[in-house]
Structure 1
């Protein structure tokens, strides 16, 4: 008896949200001058985390299960998590919104909104219009790309649920991924390759590579592993946020054991090596340089000592870094000596205690 009122209350609340989104889209359509601002605000509203009071309205506290939205990023639920499920269960509720989105295709943030609201609808609801599927698949990839970059720039994972769905429920499920065009599937896999490590899903790397679609240039660039590494290295060189760079580099240890072509292996090695030296073009911090060295030595243990010697000579090209390098070297040596002395003292103290007992 308690579940029915809860379901009705949830449906009423989501109906109201859907109507509000429709009104805002109509407002954006009728106001060309303020259209970008309206659409940006609508995207922010859809991506907003739901407050506890609103959750109490939507869900019954006594329910054992909420739904897949509970897996939202950082233990929070966003409006798009609920609305995406809502439009799958009630496709007719999203038809008017979808029609308005189609009329605003070329505007900023429209693909973002479409990707958030209709990423599940696209793959779980039957769509007979083949031409529309082509448009929707392209818009999904474009919108998801922009959305994931927002997470990169803020170093948050608010859109983890979207990424997880596209990876686990689409890319790894051929029956769903085949709904969109082959080119859209390729673009989607390239997109997932660029952000897989950021969203900490590298444990799915092996099965993800097995589900890669065919690429027309595979005979030139290599197999799925080569394509994945190429996308990953390109992504890494675009990153500017230090914690994100460190996260990517630390996660790249998952690449150990992959069979790569010589050109791809060299590309990966060069990418990591570019983060080991101060100065341009990457201007890595000390933490990034050390992380890059550790990952480089892990993935390519052969030749690590010659690499360090070569790097030392290149450091001579940056004399303004010499004082800080010398200071860091001295401090490292001091810490090593102090740790060694403490270790010896502790060992001596334990030996004295043992001798007294005997």
Structure 2
């Protein structure tokens, strides 16, 4: 029995030695062939080298090294590529671009000339320059209008220039009208309001000065009017005439107002025309009347507040004319009227009219 036990022990010892030798041998073989035996006894070859942008370093495979063949990295909308932790660049750095084949290249930033080049760009939305300037414009073609905003941002009103239906205009948004209009056919310029601070001679106007042409070229200068002390100047303040003849009636109605700047003419066919004095002072009245068909002598009178201040007797001839005039001092609110008397039978429209002048002090 002891002999059997000893024999078995020797066999087990020999088996251990054999296994150790096998393990040492297999390790030697793996070190030479760069293979690994899996737990299932399969041998797998392992490459210990690296190339094409990879480097083997102390048992690690790391990024770095030269590419040995054309390489493509494909991304999708679901699997994107991002690089974090990049350093901040400067204006002197190059710009990374791709060509038509998607190959990465870099271009010197100076080749971009520091500005945008729109080229044959056709915009499909508004272009916002964002407070930057546009230089070296050769021509600008505006199809609608160009608006000029106030430098003071709190003022939202603007001026604009545009052309519509043959008129070139400068629009004032605050006033809602053109400040200036030029018609392309007549070349006439219309100004809503005008202020000339100085003439072409550099002289500023004084109250009452008159703008006049200094020469045939149309240069404008300001000239003070010639004033003689103590002399008053007559100014036409009313002019009216008869448009429709009357076959009867002695109170003359001037139915057509030609000049009525102070809205002083009132009246009707029954009561005749009344001129209401608006400003006190000397007034001169001229009346010419062509009678209808009088049956006898007749007269023509100018009245102040219903009292005659001038009159003339006229002949009995049909269609005869009479002229009467008066100068008198009037107060504001006084009334001037014209009537006929005697054998007058209405008046004709051809020469029947009235003119009123006021003498304003210089």
Q: Is TM-score (shorter-chain normalized) higher than 0.5?
A: no
What TM-score comes out, normalization by structure 2 length?
A: 0.25
Q: Which has the larger radius of gyration?
A: 2
Bigger share in strand:
2
Bigger share in helix:
1
